Structure 1
Amino acid sequence: MNIKKLILLITSLLLIIAGILAYNFYAKIYKSNTTKEGYVYIPTDSNFDQVSELVRPFLKRVKPFNWVANKKNYPNTIKAGKFHITNGMNNNDLVNLLRSGKQTTIKLSFNNQDTFEKLAGRIAEQIEADSISILKAIKDPTFLKQNGFESKNALAMYIPNTYEFYWNTSATTFRKKMLSQYNRFWNSNRLAKAKKLNLSKFEVITLASIVQKETATVNERPKVARLYLNRLQDKWPLQADPTIIFALKQKQGQHKVIKRVLLNDLKIESPYNTYKNAGLPPGPIAMPDISSIDAILNPANHNYYYMCASITNIGQHEFAKTLSQHNRNAAKYQNWLNKQGVNR
């Protein structure tokens, strides 16, 4: 073999080797490496080994991902959050996504929780922050005082709804956003309606919490709201059984199940006893839905002062204008409870 052929052969081999190396280099970076679509949740203060394990179930090959991540200095720029991984992503795009911190938001929702503890537990199921840190944040006396709340009415700040958050939201960031949402909820229109009723925001929510507990039927809430407003405006006691149940649970424990309010219960010493105390209780007895709040602000038009649970339309009420009519409705209901064997 002459020298020219040898040089040509060596050159060809070098080109082939260079091509293979170039392809492997390219494949590590740009060849599809994810096998499925889904979300990866990267906790705060994660290190690269932890991230690599979290991403592993989505990858065909882990080593090329690790190689690209190190080349792009990702181990030193890890960001927490929820990230959407799509099927067919290459390592370059995947690392760029994680490194950018461009995470997917979550839809955080909660309904009417009775206590701060229940609220904290519900929120902790949906974001990274744990229930202890959330509970501490939402009960923080300094925060409450700075924003015009007290422990007895602070539950009013949380309007049940669905909100957009980042998964790695801290407890204090959650609290801050909920305060912002609360202020947004109380727009000029709602404030004007509350003023017309001669009620503060806290008083509206306190009364709404009673309506919330009194009826699960959304369409009936404006009617129940007007009944309580009639009583308030005419200086009558509210005589709302849900406030008695609230007072009993405060003394006997939140786990207590009470299906029937007895006459002896009405004697309980509590500022939440609306049979013994005139006006509204000190604060909400639950977290009312928007429908209950708006029922107070947009009540039905009637002159009923009494109501009793209906035995013909379960979950609704029989309304009355006079005590004698109400007593007849109440007797029917008590007889029905006795037949059902509901003693407590």
Structure 2
Amino acid sequence: MKWRYLLVSFGLILIIAISVVFYLSSPFSSDSSLKAFVINQGESVVDISNRLGKNRFIKSPLIFIFWSALSGQKNNIKAGKFEIASSWDVKTIISKLTSGGSTDYWFKIIPGQRLEEFTKDNLVPATSGKEGYLFPDSYLIPEYFTPEEIVAMISKNFDQKIKSLNIKSQDLSEIVTLASLLEREAKTKIDKQKVAAVLINRLKIGMPLQVDAAVQYGRDTITKPTKYWLPLSKTDLQIDSPFNTYQNRGLPPSPICNPGLDSLFAAQSPISSENLYYISGHDGLMHFAATLVDHNANIAKYLK
């Protein structure tokens, strides 16, 4: 009798559980109109399911994860732009998201890249004069966009990002150029702020900036190598280029790469100091000095 009771109870629980699963798997609503849903590169199934729920495409993010795992499709969801409807059940949505979206494509700019590292032949004319002003990010580009429209989209993102920095228009060129140096010279936000102070201190006293990355940019602009940013040779330091910051004083004439937001912030908000020198040590850290004596000591300690 006890076993029969347990069996009946288990059966009822199972029926209720199955009913709940099927209810939560059913369409969110009867709205059959197609709406855009974008999946970003590298986005996890948890984030995708939460956004599907937030945008009222599914009733339960947990059920979406359950069915995608059960069907073996959890790792097959593709990045892109999709047209889906709230009248679709969870299985139909999963099928759509794993079959590929539109022919729109992702375009990525990595902080510190120069134009030639991410522009294809058809983009080159549209990016002329845009070095430093194409904000590093991942962009979902509509398949029908012209090169000019692509650059306009990226430039608009740059304008939106720098609003938070309150950069005066008359200072923008110098800030972006300085930020491009910081992007190549330092990794962390704090180190970028410290390097910014060093470079500004040098500018104030008319001392050459001696930034290797700027010389690399000038050299590579002349030689057009297959790989950019290779270490400098002693001969490279003698090249005739306005970007040779060993031979020319002041900032380079224009940015040397496309800096991220941390570098732009650092150029605008340096950490004040009296330092005139810095190195990246073998210990993975940056070391700063106010005098040449201390700088040479840092070299002896961290680079030899």
Q: Scaled by the length of structure 2, what TM-score is found?
A: 0.60
Matching residue within 152, 160, 179 for 1:184 = 160
Are the counterparts in 2 of residues 226 and 302 from structure 1 also a CA contact under 8 Å? yes
Match of 1:166 in 2: 142
Q: Secondary structure at the match of 2:254?
A: coil
Distance 1:239 1:331, change over 3 A: same
Larger Rg: 1
Match of 1:304 in 2: 275
Consecutive unaligned residues in structure 2, runs of 5 or more: 1-36, 39-79, 90-101
Q: Scaled by the length of structure 1, what TM-score is found?
A: 0.54
Are the counterparts in 2 of residues 244 and 273 from structure 1 also a CA contact under 8 Å? yes
Within a 5 Å distance, the mapping from 1:201-216 to structure 2 comes to 201-216=172-187
Matching residue within 314, 323, 328 for 2:292 = 323
Match of 1:240 in 2: 211
Equivalent AA in structure 1 for residue 223 of structure 2: Q
Aligned residues: 218
Equivalent AA in structure 1 for residue 290 of structure 2: K
Equivalent AA in structure 1 for residue 83 of structure 2: H
Match of 1:57 in 2: none
Matching residue within 113, 122, 129 for 1:133 = 122
Match of 2:68 in 1: none
Equivalent AA in structure 2 for residue 242 of structure 1: A
Once the two structures are TM-superposed, the CA of residue 202 in structure 1 deviates from its matched residue by 1.7
Equivalent AA in structure 2 for residue 317 of structure 1: M
Are the counterparts in 1 of residues 112 and 184 from structure 2 also a CA contact under 8 Å? no
User: What fraction of aligned residue pairs are identical, expressed as a percent?
Assistant: 27
Does residue 287 of structure 1 match 2:254?
Answer: no
Moved more, 293-302 or 261-270: 261-270
Matching residue within 244, 259, 263 for 1:273 = 244
Question: 1:232-265 CA deviation, whole Å, 9 max, x = no partner?
Answer: 1222211112122222323333335666444443
Question: 1:72-123 CA deviation, whole Å, 9 max, x = no partner?
Answer: xxxxxxxxx9543579969xxxxxxxxxxxx798775421263333222xxx
Equivalent AA in structure 2 for residue 158 of structure 1: L
Match of 2:61 in 1: none
Match of 2:222 in 1: 251
CA distance in 1, matches of 2:106, 2:115: 20
Are the counterparts in 2 of residues 236 and 278 from structure 1 also a CA contact under 8 Å? yes
CA distance in 1, matches of 2:107, 2:232: 35
CA distance in 1, matches of 2:231, 2:83: 50
